[in-house]
Amino acid sequence: DPVISGNFDMQTAKNLSIQLRAGALPVPVTLLQQETLGATLGSESIHKSFFAGIVGLFIVFVFLVYRYKKLGLLAGASLVFYTLINLAIFKLIPVVLTLPGIAGFILSIGMATDANILIFERYKEELFWGKKKQEALELGFERAWNSIKDSNISSLITCFILFELGSGPVRGFALTLAIGILVSLFSSIFVVKTLIEVFKKWTY
């Protein structure tokens, strides 16, 4: 019979005995299959997630160009800029990109796209109401800002709660999502607007 040795008093030995017997059933254990999983499993999942993110970014880019033509092309360029800024911040902090962290990053790309769509739809509404293109663009950015700000602030509050109360993977998700939201605010309002101002003759 196996023996566990060590410096135990009577109470400690009883507690250990109870823990070892907890859940034990008088049933023989038969080994049916044995498999060893290497560290490449996690690496492979991360690479697949990154690939999914790149494919998603490309599809979003195509949708923006199809739906908003030249404005969509500039919005797509701002998304590429947004992605590079995010990855640079992840490198500087540094952020360990687990699968939940990558999920948070990919989700933030969708939120950045949502902000661009809000701006462009308001722009189209202003044009429909008879505003000139320059005025419509200014009003589109101005009137979409409140909706963008409120939705992103509520998301940031959620990220803060998850980061404070969650454990490792949950905190990673909350951190990457929060960084993405903050960068998307900058990208959607300032980068897109600057690009449109620089290329306004071509855009209009």
Residues in the chain: 204
Q: What pLDDT is attached to residue 28?
A: 66
Chain mean pLDDT for the chain: 80
Split at pLDDT 50, 70, 90, the class of 55 is confident
Residue 80 carries which side chain, given as an amino acid letter?
V
- Residue 96, pLDDT > 70, answer yes
Cβ contact 168:148 at 8 Å: no
Q: Which residues contact 55 (CB under 8 A, 6 or more apart)?
A: none
Q: According to the model, what pLDDT value does residue 161 have?
A: 93
Share of the chain above pLDDT 70, in %: 83
pLDDT at 109: 83
The answer to whether residue 162 scores a pLDDT higher than 70 is yes
d(CA 172, CA 169): 5
Geometric angle at alpha carbon 155, from 179 and 160, rounded to 5°: 65
Please tell me the predicted confidence (pLDDT) of residue 142. 83
Q: Is the predicted pLDDT of residue 92 greater than 60, yes or no? A: yes
Asked if 184 and 82 touch (Cβ cutoff 8 Å), the reply is yes
Given a contact cutoff of 8 angstroms between Cβ atoms, the answer to whether 79 and 58 are in contact is no
Q: How far apart are CA 87 and CA 157, in angstroms?
A: 22
Query: With contact defined as beta carbons under 8 Å apart, do 118 and 148 qualify?
Result: yes
Confidence (pLDDT) at 156: 92
| pTM of the predicted model as reported, rounded to 2 decimal places | 0.69
Residues 6+ apart with CB under 8 A from 187: 78, 79, 81, 82, 85, 112
In this structure, are residues 136 and 126 in contact, taking their beta carbons and an 8 Å threshold? yes
